[in-house]
Structure formats: structure tokens, C-alpha cells
Structure 1
């Protein structure tokens, strides 16, 4: 069957369908048929299965009849039925359905109350008998009065039949032995752990097991839903017909929404149900009508129409889709979704899913013929008119045992017809991510054993956004890549790691991008020692890179460059503790010594300003103090002769909760670094930068020199400085609800902050969220060409200065305010602003959000005047226990507001 976490919109199995299929009255009928006649007095029968297993042995327990009218019926109905105690507050309907106000619940039960609810339905039955299987439990029968006449057994007054965790009560009952029937009248009540069923009368055929219940009401406490039925009929083949059904998750005195059907037919052999004349009512007003709908009662999927999706936007106008789910087998299915887009035309989307014992596969596709173009948001916006537009996607993950290891498979493939597809149409009718720049197309095979992880990968990307000011907008293709990583724990804490890969890099533009093959080895030996008071871990590594480069860019100084450089390190730290009555304070000094031999790497890819294959310099922060290489990727072997010092202190309470963590550290360099990704800063330049770069003759290297820009000056300073910036982090849990976070890197040489962020978070644990944040990153300004005048260029500030405020603030009743303001102080503009209101009650939830946002983020920053701004109003409604119209608002809020947790439908 499809995976449980799949987000496909499909027929949902409601608890009503499950319980009606599970519930069997056969044993109940058998127990009633076993009742012998008795005198006219209060009696109690105790029935046990006989030794042969084909009947019952019953014995009569005589009790004194009550002198009061009605006898035991003077007990409250819920006590007589063996149900959980009910509060005396509330309406009679609430009490009859087992509804308990929140104040009357236990602490464990209060934790289960859904958001927006003031109470819950409590499961019927004696908690001590909750786990007793009625199939094997003895039958107990009670009645105030019983009489046999003409082979009719009459039961009157507090009739109660109990078998394990199943219970039936009524006012009166008549058993017709010759005709094998039994009739119960007045306050019929049937209870088991997850079902409460009530009615005016019930008729049982004791031979066939057929049952009819009139004017029935039902409650499923586990799912917190209730409903009614004019008549419930179970025939001899155990098929069910339910007439005049209503269904809702609202509290007893509310019908904010309800599902109403004329009839439901249940085929127990196929485990399916068919409902006719279905309508969904909100405040007794019909809003959706379906002539019929079929759904599964078990885990099986069932073909049928799913709930539609509706949206309205300025670019596409009305956007309506109606999914149709097709159950092909227990482990694979298909969903076809016709989609109407007012300003573009008709579209079809398809999703095929397959699940097996060794893998999960999902195939998605869409097609829009001759796009009508939509509505442009401004005069400069590019539109697509008259083109066929499509999207295809394949997702697969698999694993199965093979020999002594595990074989794994992975596919992540996405391709669209054009670069603007996601902007215009999204990735299916529900989701959209306009910030996507590259679509991955990856195939990977792996084999893992106790010591080795071997993988074969082919990966490339479709670039769907190209910035003319950033020529490296398309990543290299890896066709293919082979990795083999081994780990061995030898003895005495000695660990051997063997990492190596071979990869072929290709590029569609071989006139500007070097291509070729690369092999890399990283072999290490580490001795790990750890005690309660500290740790001591020395290690050494052998590192090697070699290339076989293509001559697609002409003559190369070396077609097969290689470099080998050893590395050694020592990672050591101490743990000190100081205890008080409420807290334990720690002091954790740490030392990291790193020696990485420098080797000439000028001939490696990145020659003459060309891009390297996959390598960049990592952002500096507190975690950088303990890294063995300042580069990510495989094209450089970072050189280092340095010592890192750090200090961390924590405050931990007696329950193990950390209330404060503060860290600070710095790297001290014993020599200049020589390895760089800046092609201007070759070994010869770094040996004598003034002589090589000072072209204006002023005796210093500055931006007045021909080969020097701001980026080169920053790189030169970083390579020749004696110490790193100071890096610090702080995490302060002010209270159970408030938390403060901060981090910074402070350049002591230039007396400035290079990077920093602060954040204040509030979460009351009950839908109240507030976040306040600010982040700053100093970046080198870049040269930007004017799109309308390519000959004119200017410098654009690349510093990131952004503020972010977001909240979900509870208002009166069940209303909450939703808002976010994300502002770019560098360019004086809003990045994203939205505000709205959410109403969340016990049985339904709705959200309305107005949003304005910029299409591209700062990683692909264009001049402010050329950035598109969009706006829209988003609406969502969820009928709890049934379905919702969309998840788009939930996705927006979950991404934009830290701490927001959308309710699961």
C-alpha cells in the first residue's frame, strides 16, 4: 500500500468506516439466545463457554428485587452501562454522548485534547476491562424482571448484557426462540473501547446474525467524531446498509460542519463502502454535493474522486483542479488531476506510486498545451505564450540485503520545459518554490557493509535561472562518480579511515569551462581517547589529488597535475564542573592543533580565472575552529600551521535541561596560508605581493592596481593575517517559553563585525509563537552590468542586513493573528510581508493570509529596480476529521514562522 507519510490527496478512511466494518454483533446475539427462562424476580445470569466449545453453561444468581420502582434503573444511565463517569455540567446530549469538559479530565486526558477544543469524548466501558477480548470472555446478563410465555422470553428493566469490553443495555427485550429473533426497545446502548452506539430499537436474527438498529447515534472516542443514522442494517452476509447518515467532528452542541448522505452500502467481502447523495454542510448550508462516492473501510486504497483544490491569483486567475484517484493494486496507484487555469488553459497532472519490500518509487508528470501566457505583473516581465509546457519528476529510494551487505538505489530526477515553469505553474497544483535555481537529475547505486560504503553516482542539474552577472550559474555534471569509503576500528581506540573517489566532470559550455577527471584519496589514522574529565585525540592523514584534464580550452601547462600533502592534528579538551543546589556549571576548554603541509597547487583547476570543479571556501564561524580543511569539495588541499583555542560554559539543571551555553574561540596562525581559489594570488604573487601586483607604483597593493579588486584584497588579507576573527555563540533559555540565540565573528585586526545574528523566540506551547531576528553578513561588493546598457557597470553592495519578525498571537476566542515582516536593509525593501487571521475550533480551522513578496532572494541579487514583486491572498479551510481544501497556507506559514506546526489532517 502507499506510504503513510505520502501527501497525496486521496479518499480518507474515517473512523466511522473502520468501526462499522470491525464491529460484530454475532457473539452478542449468541449470548442472548443462550438465556434460559426464569421466574419473575430480579435475576443475574453468569454464562461460560462449555467444554466442547459449541454452547454455553449458564448459572443463575438470584438477587433480591429492588423495592424501588425501576430497581437498578435508578442508577445514572452511564453508570448502568458501565461507561466512564461523565461531568454533571453540560447539556443532556453531551452527557449521553460521553462528552467531558476539559476541567473534568485527568491531566493525561487534558494533554490529548485537540487544539481549540473545550473537552473530549471519553471512551465507554470499564477501564479495567478495556483489554478483555469479548470473543473469549464470559457472558453476564442482568435484568430487573424476566418472564417466559409461549416460548417468548421477556426482559424488562435495566437489561444489560456484558461480554469482556463489550456492553449492551436497553429498557426492554424480547427473545422469540421459535423464530430465532430478539428485539430490544428503549435506550439501546452498545459500547466498546472505541465505539458508542445508541438507538431507539434493535432487532437481531439469532440464526443468521442479521441486525437492524433504528434511529442510531454513534461516537468514536479515539478519533473524536460522532454521527447519526436513521437505520443501520446488517444482513446475513455481514454486509451493511446505513440510511440517513450524518458525520462530524464537532462538539455535541455544534454542527459547524457535517457530512450528510442518503445511504451508505458496505461490502464487507471487498471491504468497501459506497455513499449516495453526499453533501457537506457548513452551518446547515450545503457547500459540496456528490451524487455518489466510494471509499475503502480498511487499509486498501479505493478508486474515486478526491477533494478539489481552488485558488485565485493575479497571474493565473482562477486555478481549479479535481484529482481522481485510481487504485491499481495494494502496492501501486495512480492519481490523475485535470486542472483548469483561467489565464493559461487546461492542464493535466499525473502521479504514479509503487511500493515494494525493497523500495519506494514515485513518478510525476504534467502537461499544459499552448499556454495562453497568463497575466504579467509588470511591463518588463517575460511571459511564455503559445508554448507547450511540461514537468516530469522521478523519485526512488530502495534497499535490500545482498550477501554480507546492503544494496541501495536512489533516483532524484526533475526536468521542466522552460526556466519559467515553476514561477508560472509551480511544482503541481498545490506546491510552489520560486526560489529554486537548479533542478537535480541524480542516479545513485550503493553497497554498504560493516566496514565499507561504496557508491556509484551520476548527477547533473537543469539551470532554471541564469544571472548574467554570475557566469557560474550552471554546476558541473558528474558523469559518473565512484566513492569508496572504509572505516576500521583496530585496537585500543585506533581508527583507520579510507576515503577515495574518482569523478568525471563535464559541462555544456566547454569554451569557458575546463573539463576532465579527478581522483582523490584521504587516508587517516586516529587514536581516540575519552574520559569523563576530557578527551585526547591525535591523528594523521595522507591526502592526494590527481587530474586527467581535457584540452577543450587549448594548451595546458600540465594536462595531468597532481598534488600530495600530509596532515596531522591533535584535538584535546577538558571538562570541569561546579555544582550548586539547582544547576551544574561546566567549563570546557578545548585545543586543536593542525599541521597541513603546503604544496604548490597553481596548476590545479581554476587556472587563469576559470572556475574549479566543485570547491569553495567555507564560511568562518565557531565550528571552523575544529575543521581540518577550510575548503569544501575536492579541488584543494588546504595548508595550515595553526592552533585553535576555544572555551565553552554551560548551565544544566538537575533534570538535565541546558539553560545556557556560551562559547568563544580564535585561531592563531604560525605561517601565512598559500593555498587559495583566487587565480590572481599565485605562489609567486604570495611570495612578494607588492612586487607582483603594485602596478601604480605607490608601494602598496590596493584597488588602484590593474589586477586588484576588493575580492583580491580581502583574500590577500585572510591569507596573511596572524589570527582569525573571534568567533562566539550564545544560546540562553530565559524560561520555558523564551529563548535568546546569538552568534558573531569579530575581526580584531579591522575592528569590525564580519558576520552576526541575534534572535529572540517565544513559544507558549499552545499556539502562541513570536520570533524576532536580525542577521548581518559582510560581503564583497560585486560588479553589476546594467541590463539595458551592457557597457555601463557599477558596484553593488552585497552586505546582507535583514530583519525578521513573525508571530502567531492568540486573540479572543479561537482567533489568532498571523504575521511576518522580512526586510532587506541593504536595499531598503520588503523581502516578504504577510498578515492574516486563523480561526481554530474543535472541528474546523480556516486561515486567510495576504502576502507580498519578492521573487528572488539575495543569493541571486539583481538591481532593485529589476526585481519582481508579487502579491496575493491565500485561503485555507480544514474540516477536521474530513479533509481540507489546500495545504499551501500551511506550507507558507511553516516556512515563514519558526515554531509553527500545522495540524495534521
Structure 2
């Protein structure tokens, strides 16, 4: 029997030699030395090795035994290998090719003449069970000209492209002109053992890397076992909707499929599997070198290079015991990835007690993607509970960039967005007026429908402050109550406080209400106890409560409203009235068959003011209207008629307003019409859509003397392109302008037909007046405050021009100007350029010019009005003489902002807003920002102006205004998936840098 097998083996062996002309390797045995010599396709003979047996070493059938000592193993050829050689390997043939179509003897003679000292190699026949895997292949067999003696190895100094010695082992370069592997050996021959590819230097680290290079490569393999890359989207939020759907009920119904190179089954229950074992059941997959499976207890033991994955976990270990029925597991020296958060880590031991509970010993984990371990949490014991989605760790500490930064004997953390009581990350900063401040907030998860955050805060120059937020969630409403209290300010020597109550309710799809109440102890609270990011740009704190019903054709709203003025220079008449309450009822309906729209606007409001010099009043306003819209594809015309009736009832006697009952009725007529024309044009070889959109708007409102009506909520609109088509140049209803005017406007566009970009948009417009505008704001002499605008006699409004262009997807330009023919000067101007190289790479340049000619004209008319006393005219003269110096209502500012890459994903962020009128920086900050998929860091220093403190009535103070400015340094750091500290600078950047888009996680 043995002789017969031996004969078959010899026949197969010599059959393989007979096909040498068709293969990739060519081997012959020397007649004198009895040594085998093999020649590869590179054109040079392999070095030899004595063969005491006189025949090739073989690998036993059914085993992937280790190769003979000092004998390299042929592997899968490179991509540029001959097609026949590749096919031969696929067919699992023992092949011996010839060299460059030359006979082997002639090749050997040529090489022997060139290198008489060369030794000949001992060939080896390898018959793998399966086609070799290129990704797991050992180094290739090298030609003699490139491979050292296989018996005595001599180290060769091999340098990389930078001139540094390469790592020990086989170093190959496939970029040679000859197309060969060009491999050289440095150090001892690794004999085909797998080695991890060297990675870049991580720079200075106090601690050793948490995961070595080999583990990082295993993490890459684990990541690839998921259907989707868990780190494929850096904006995945903690606890967000899963990117996969796992139906674990399928596991109970699915069979366990086992595949291996060899298997033994005992009593049809216990299976022993060897060689490339693969198991699959529903979403569960496992692979290992060997496995034992008990189908009765559904217990699976895996050994050697164990990879296991399911929809919500992927892991690697050397040994694993799995109980498939109960989803229990025991593993040693394990690497794991949980894609939901996502996190990855390692542990010396993993105990999976159930489907939801798992424990880890000597664990380290991070949310950074494989290859990045900027921050890592280490823990002696780690427990994860998927049912409550919480985790806990003992003896935990955090390292960042190789430096330990935090330690805790015990901590807990959420694994999703569900809430959990405990201390939050501390925050701290520094401001000029409050000094250094530190806060350690505590989160209290009181119940599923309400919670609280207690935020004690300490200021180094002012003392302690207690703050807190209480949130609640009802079936039809939600809200928040916030408060801050400082019992004794060390500087002002008084208690200070702030309180806020917010509530939003949706009772039905059509009925809802809102509540927003705010109160602050003093006007300087925000500027002194706030920070440089939260300082408000408003002058009044608004509090209101409203309720509304909205349905098709009807809108009913009720509101009560109050204002608290926090601007120290505002007072008297400049403080707003309270509305206690205001009711609005609007009705509208369209008769499509008659091409008619009808509607009515109704308002009832009660105004109340603290100043006894100002009257309180009821106001009732009703405005029915009818319009006849006529529209086609290119033409529209809309005549509209309305009547506005307003009734006032004053409940106080006032020297300026003798009548307590005042009414006003005004008819209003307008006609709005225009054309829309378009044409395809070819400009410079580009197909464009060119449009012309002329528009005319006629408005008539008769003059009615309204000087006997107080002003409660009315002021002039700022003049811009949209103002050309308003029925009233006043906001509110205390003043209705008199008008007999027509607006002529033209809009033209050039739109790229391919990209859709608006290459050019130009708006031109001007109002032509047929009469003077004599309705003005009534002067109210209360202290030093007044409201006034003069009679306008010009025949035209300023000419408004707006130009914008999206030059390409990176550059946009906006220009605008207003030229006043009455004063023959430009009264408005703005220019802005926005450049976005790549998403997040921004540069913005802007300039704004505004001249308040209305105030100057008002002062000139006031000085010529003899009804004013000499004292009042002297005060107006101070204003006028100071006007050219301070021009407090003028604006001449430049604004530069940017976010630009500096180095290695570090971005510089900055903004500089400068007033050329006052030669003063209004707002400036500069900082750095870096964001990766696992952490973000931001830091800025900011200087800004709080307000302008100038005493009204003093010319010297007006000419030399005093500024109140302060500085602050603030930062934010966040370990994504773990915690963070500092202020939310992302929201601040989104408000101050045009085009900045905040990234979430």
C-alpha cells in the first residue's frame, strides 16, 4: 500500500516537472552536487541550499505545516505577474516556469559565468489546500541577484527614500524601472512570518500607545466586517438613529452553518472543526483556526485568530467561548468595536453575561477611528448595560495625546441620549469685570418628565453665585425655569439675580401658546456677570405670553408684553410701552372664480407706561381690503383697495394731547404690476438664461393730520430696496404716511444654464413723489428726549442699486449703494466678498457706510421752529454742532472674518469689526479650532465694546464719547462620545462668521 502511494506521488511529481515550459518556476537538480536549482521569472537563478534528501521538501496533504528551516515559501505573484502563472496558482498546480523563454541550462550557464560564487537553492514543492491569499501571503521568493545566501545571512544596510535605515526584514520596492520587486533583506530572515506595516511617528507621548500597530490593523479588519463604516460620518450624534437594523429574533429561527477544511462529528451532536473555520447564524459571523460546537447546548469554542461580529459588535480574540442560546460569551485578550456610539477598545478579559450586560477587565477604549488614539479611557473594571444604555468604570483615567489628564476611582456615563444623574464636566473662563470664574454643574435626573441642573459658580473678584435650570415635559407642553442669584457682590455690595421662565404648549393642531418671562436685578448684570459670548446686543429684555388659533383663512392671537431696559443711556420716552393686552384677528379668503382676494385685519391693544408724563391708551384698528390679482406666465397686475380706521381712548390728561378720544380714517389704494421676460443667450461660450423683470408700484394715501395722536409703537423703517414697495414707511399704526407716488424698479439676472449659479443679479429702483410728505412724528418734549422727523419735500427718493454675483462655487460678491439726488451725495453703501475654498475654509470681507441725513435735517428744522423755547433750541444746537463730530447714528465700519486651515487640521478663526467713525474696534476675536471624528478643541480671545456712554446735552462728552469695553479668553474641548467642557463656541462662530456651519456629533 505504501509503495503504491509512493509511486503515485512520484508520478505526480515528475508530471509537474514535465509542465515546466508552461509554468512560472524552472527547477533542475545538479548532477554533481545533487542540489536543486530554481529560476524565477525575474531572469536570475535563485541561490541554492544543500538538500540531503535529494528531493524537494513537501507539505503534508491536509496540513499547512511550517516550511523547512531557511527555505522561503513561494506565494501569490504580484499584480504584474504573467497570466499563466496566476492561472496556475488558481488551479493549485505545482508549476516550474522557464526564464524569458530561454532553456534553463543556458540561463544557469550565463549566471554562473557572471557570479561563479553563487550557490544554488534547494527547491520546495508547496501544494496549498486553497489558492493563497495575497493579503496574508509571506514575502515572495527572490531571484539570486536580490536574495542573500539562505544558509548564512549577511545584513545589508538598506535606506529608505529619506535616507534612513529601513526596518529589519524584507524591504521591497515595486517602483523600479525594471518592474521587478527589487527586494533586499535587512537583519535576520523573518522566514515568512507576518509583520505589521510600520506607521508614522506619533510624536512625543509620555505614555506608551494604548493600542500597538498590530492591534490597529486588527481594528481595521473589525471595522470592515460591518455593512457600513461606523466612522463614515463624523456627525453621528450620541444616541442618534442607528444606521443599521438588527432583528435578533431571526437568530432563534436560523440554523448554524459551519465550514472548515476538516471536520469530525460525534453522535451528530459535537463537532470538531479544523482549518479556516467559519460559522454563521443570522447576523452572527465567526472565523477561527479551530472550533468545537455542541449543537445540543449550542456552545461554541473558538481558538486561534478568532474574529466574531454581529450587527452591533465586532471583536477579535485568541480564544472565545460562546453560548449561542443565551448570547453569553467568555473571551481573553480581546479587541472590540461597538458601532452605535461608536467606540473601540481592548480588554484582558470580556464576560458577556446576557444580551444586554457585558463586563471588561483592564479595559481601554476610545471613540477615535482606527489609526487615531488621541484620547483613551483606561479602566480596571468596565461594565456596559445596553438595556439602560449606561456604563460604569472603576479606577478610570483619561489620557489625551499621550498625557494623563483626569482620574476618578469611579464614574458612570451614558451610552446614548438617555439622561443620568451625576456631575457634568466643569467649565471655567476669565473676564475683565468678573475675573476668573469656575463652575462644577450637577445634573439631577429627577423623573422621566422633568430634571434639573444645579450650577454653582465662583467669580474671583465678586464672589459666589448659585444658578440652576429646571426642565419639565408634559403631554401637551414643555418648559424651563432658570435662575441665578448672588447674595452679595463684593464690588457693588448688593445682591444680584436673574430669572427666566419659558413654556411652549400645543393644545390642538390649531391652538398653541408661548410664555417667556425674564427679569434681571440691574442694567449691568449681563455686562458684569455674563461672559464675552453671552453679552446681549439688545437694549431691552422682552417678556411676553401669547396664545393663538390659526387655521385656513383665520388667525387669532392674544399677547401681553413687557420690556425691561438694560441700556444705561436709554430712558424716558425711549423706553417701550407695555401691551396689556393685544388682540389680533385676521380673516382672508380667495374667490378664484372671480380672481378676487378679500380680508380684514383687526387689532385691539392697551398701552401702559411707567412715565407719568406719557399717556396710557386703548387703541382699536380695523383694516378691510380687497384685491384683484391678475396673473399670467409673464405678466402680473394687482389692484388693491383698503380702508384703515383707528380709534384711541386716552385714560390720562396730557399737555400735548387735550382730547381723550381720537379717531382716524384713511383710504389706501395701490396698483402693483410687472413683467417677467427671459431669453437664452450665449456669453463667452457659456449658455446663460437672461431675465428682465420691470416693475411699477403706484400708491395713493390722502393726507390726514395726525399730530394729535401719541406715538406708542411706531418708528420709521430703514430705507432699502424692499421699502420701495411698502404701503407705509412707518412701523406700527400710530402714523400712516400720506402718499401720491410711483415706484419704478428693474431686476435683471444672468443664470448659468449648466450650474444654475446666479452669475449676476442687479436691482435698480426709485420712488417718484407727486407731493410733499407732510405726516411726521410728533415732538414729545419729555426731559431731553424727543422723536422727530421733518416734512420731506424732495421729488424723488434715493436711487437704490443692489448688485450680487455668484462668480463660481467659491466666490460670491454683494454690492449696494443709495444716492440721494436731493443732497447730491451717497447716503448708503455696502460691499462684501465671500470666499469659500472648501467647506469650512472661509474668508469674508465687508464694508458698511450709512449716513443719517434725516437726523441732520430734523435738527435744522427744529432750530428754525420758533415754537421751541430758547433752552430747547440751545440743546438742539448742541446736537447739530456735535453731529459732524460724533454722528452717533451714522455707521462706517469694516468687517473681516475668516476660518482658514493652518496645519494638520488646525484652523484659525478670527473676526475684526472696526468703526472708522470712532477709530475704535467694535468687536475682535482670534482663536484656533480643530475638529476630528473623536474630539474638538476651540479657544479664542475676544475684546468688544459694551456700549457708548455719552451724556446727552454735553457737547464735550458728545465730541469725546466714552467706550466701555472688556476682554475675555474662552475655550471648549470635547471628547466625542464621552464628555466636554467649556462654552459652546460653535454657536458663537455661526453667528459672527458668515458661512460658518456648526458641526454636530
DSSP-derived class of the 2:581 partner:
strand
Q: Give the Cα separation in 2 of the matches to 1:546 and 1:810.
A: 61
Alignment of 1:384-783 (within 5 A): 384-385=492-493, 387-401=494-508, 406-426=510-530, 432-467=534-569, 471-492=572-593, 493-510=595-612, 512-553=613-654, 556-580=657-681, 582-605=687-710, 612-654=711-753, 655-679=755-779, 715-716=790-791, 719-779=792-852, 780=855
Contact in 2 for aligned 1:615/1:631 (Cα 8 Å): yes
Structure-2 residue corresponding to 1:869: 965
Q: Give the Cα separation in 1 of the matches to 2:462 and 2:552.
A: 55
How far the C-alpha of 1:678 sits from its partner, in A, is 4.0
DSSP-derived class of the 1:424 partner:
helix
Structure-1 residue corresponding to 2:361: 243
Task: State which drifts further: 181-190 or 135-144.
Answer: 135-144
Moved over 6 A (4+): 64-70, 76-79, 87-91, 99-102, 108-111, 129-133, 709-712, 789-794, 857-862
Question: 2:880 matched to 1:802?
Answer: no
Task: State which drifts further: 258-267 or 625-634.
Answer: 258-267
How far the C-alpha of 1:530 sits from its partner, in A, is 2.3
How far the C-alpha of 1:641 sits from its partner, in A, is 0.9
How far the C-alpha of 1:725 sits from its partner, in A, is 0.9
Question: 2:263 matched to 1:146?
Answer: yes
Contact in 2 for aligned 1:65/1:144 (Cα 8 Å): no
Contact in 1 for aligned 2:223/2:230 (Cα 8 Å): no
Does the C-alpha gap of structure 1 residues 561 and 135 become closer, same or farther in structure 2, counting only changes over 3 Å?
farther
Contact in 2 for aligned 1:430/1:887 (Cα 8 Å): no
Contact in 2 for aligned 1:362/1:396 (Cα 8 Å): yes
Q: Give the Cα separation in 1 of the matches to 2:949 and 2:830.
A: 17
Does the C-alpha gap of structure 1 residues 808 and 461 become closer, same or farther in structure 2, counting only changes over 3 Å?
same
Q: Give the Cα separation in 2 of the matches to 1:76 and 1:670.
A: 88
How far the C-alpha of 1:340 sits from its partner, in A, is 2.1
Question: 2:942 matched to 1:851?
Answer: yes
Q: Which of 257, 265, 288 is the equivalent residue of 2:375?
A: 257
How far the C-alpha of 1:464 sits from its partner, in A, is 1.5
Contact in 2 for aligned 1:585/1:652 (Cα 8 Å): yes
Structure-2 residue corresponding to 1:17: none
Q: Give the Cα separation in 2 of the matches to 1:515 and 1:823.
A: 42
Q: Give the Cα separation in 1 of the matches to 2:322 and 2:256.
A: 17
Structure-2 residue corresponding to 1:9: none
Structure-2 residue corresponding to 1:55: none
How far the C-alpha of 1:893 sits from its partner, in A, is 2.7
Does the C-alpha gap of structure 1 residues 733 and 238 become closer, same or farther in structure 2, counting only changes over 3 Å?
closer
Does the C-alpha gap of structure 1 residues 472 and 226 become closer, same or farther in structure 2, counting only changes over 3 Å?
farther
Task: State which drifts further: 522-531 or 546-555.
Answer: 546-555
Q: For each residue in 1:782-834, what CA deviation from the matched residue of structure 2 results, as whole angstroms up to 9, or x when unmatched? A: 99x9xxx9998762322210111111221232222222221111111111222
How far the C-alpha of 1:100 sits from its partner, in A, is 12
Alignment of 1:831-842 (within 5 A): 831-842=922-933
How far the C-alpha of 1:554 sits from its partner, in A, is 5.2
Structure-2 residue corresponding to 1:37: none
Q: For each residue in 1:270-322, what CA deviation from the matched residue of structure 2 results, as whole angstroms up to 9, or x when unmatched? A: 45332222222112322122332333445532112211112133333331111
DSSP-derived class of the 1:811 partner:
strand
Q: For each residue in 1:531-554, what CA deviation from the matched residue of structure 2 results, as whole angstroms up to 9, or x when unmatched? A: 221211111111111100122435
Q: For each residue in 1:678-728, what CA deviation from the matched residue of structure 2 results, as whole angstroms up to 9, or x when unmatched? A: 4499xxxxxxxxxxxxxxxxxxxxxxxxxxx9996x723xx2111111111
How far the C-alpha of 1:507 sits from its partner, in A, is 0.6
Structure-1 residue corresponding to 2:218: 96
How far the C-alpha of 1:202 sits from its partner, in A, is 1.5
Alignment of 1:116-127 (within 5 A): none
Normalised by the length of structure 1, the TM-score is 0.78
Contact in 1 for aligned 2:461/2:490 (Cα 8 Å): yes
Q: Give the Cα separation in 2 of the matches to 1:124 and 1:890.
A: 26
Does the C-alpha gap of structure 1 residues 208 and 257 become closer, same or farther in structure 2, counting only changes over 3 Å?
closer
DSSP-derived class of the 2:510 partner:
strand
Question: 2:396 matched to 1:300?
Answer: no
Contact in 2 for aligned 1:726/1:746 (Cα 8 Å): yes
Does the C-alpha gap of structure 1 residues 72 and 442 become closer, same or farther in structure 2, counting only changes over 3 Å?
farther
Does the C-alpha gap of structure 1 residues 876 and 99 become closer, same or farther in structure 2, counting only changes over 3 Å?
farther
Contact in 2 for aligned 1:247/1:259 (Cα 8 Å): yes
Contact in 1 for aligned 2:303/2:320 (Cα 8 Å): yes
The structure with more strand, counted as a fraction of residues? 1
Q: Give the Cα separation in 2 of the matches to 1:650 and 1:199.
A: 65
Structure-2 residue corresponding to 1:881: 977
Structure-1 residue corresponding to 2:398: 280
How far the C-alpha of 1:890 sits from its partner, in A, is 2.9
Structure-2 residue corresponding to 1:199: 317
Q: Give the Cα separation in 2 of the matches to 1:124 and 1:371.
A: 52
Contact in 2 for aligned 1:844/1:877 (Cα 8 Å): yes
Q: For each residue in 1:413-432, what CA deviation from the matched residue of structure 2 results, as whole angstroms up to 9, or x when unmatched? A: 11112211111222xx8961
How far the C-alpha of 1:400 sits from its partner, in A, is 2.5
Q: Give the Cα separation in 2 of the matches to 1:73 and 1:163.
A: 26
Q: Give the Cα separation in 2 of the matches to 1:806 and 1:454.
A: 43
How far the C-alpha of 1:732 sits from its partner, in A, is 0.7
Normalised by the length of structure 2, the TM-score is 0.70
Question: 2:356 matched to 1:216?
Answer: no
DSSP-derived class of the 1:903 partner:
coil
Q: Give the Cα separation in 2 of the matches to 1:179 and 1:228.
A: 29
Q: Give the Cα separation in 2 of the matches to 1:560 and 1:710.
A: 24
Gaps of 5+ in 2: 1-60, 64-90, 95-125, 138-195, 200-212, 236-241, 860-870
Does the C-alpha gap of structure 1 residues 237 and 252 become closer, same or farther in structure 2, counting only changes over 3 Å?
closer
Contact in 1 for aligned 2:948/2:961 (Cα 8 Å): no
DSSP-derived class of the 2:989 partner:
helix
How far the C-alpha of 1:221 sits from its partner, in A, is 5.2
Does the C-alpha gap of structure 1 residues 205 and 816 become closer, same or farther in structure 2, counting only changes over 3 Å?
closer
Q: Give the Cα separation in 2 of the matches to 1:110 and 1:141.
A: 28
Does the C-alpha gap of structure 1 residues 330 and 124 become closer, same or farther in structure 2, counting only changes over 3 Å?
closer
DSSP-derived class of the 1:894 partner:
helix
Contact in 2 for aligned 1:98/1:124 (Cα 8 Å): no
Q: For each residue in 1:607-658, what CA deviation from the matched residue of structure 2 results, as whole angstroms up to 9, or x when unmatched? A: xxxxx10001111111111111111112112221111110000111224332
Size of the alignment, in residue pairs? 768
Structure-1 residue corresponding to 2:26: none
Contact in 2 for aligned 1:124/1:191 (Cα 8 Å): no
Q: Give the Cα separation in 1 of the matches to 2:971 and 2:380.
A: 30
Gaps of 5+ in 1: 1-39, 43-63, 80-86, 116-122, 374-383, 606-611, 682-708
Structure-2 residue corresponding to 1:814: 905
Q: Give the Cα separation in 2 of the matches to 1:99 and 1:627.
A: 65
Q: Give the Cα separation in 2 of the matches to 1:423 and 1:858.
A: 14
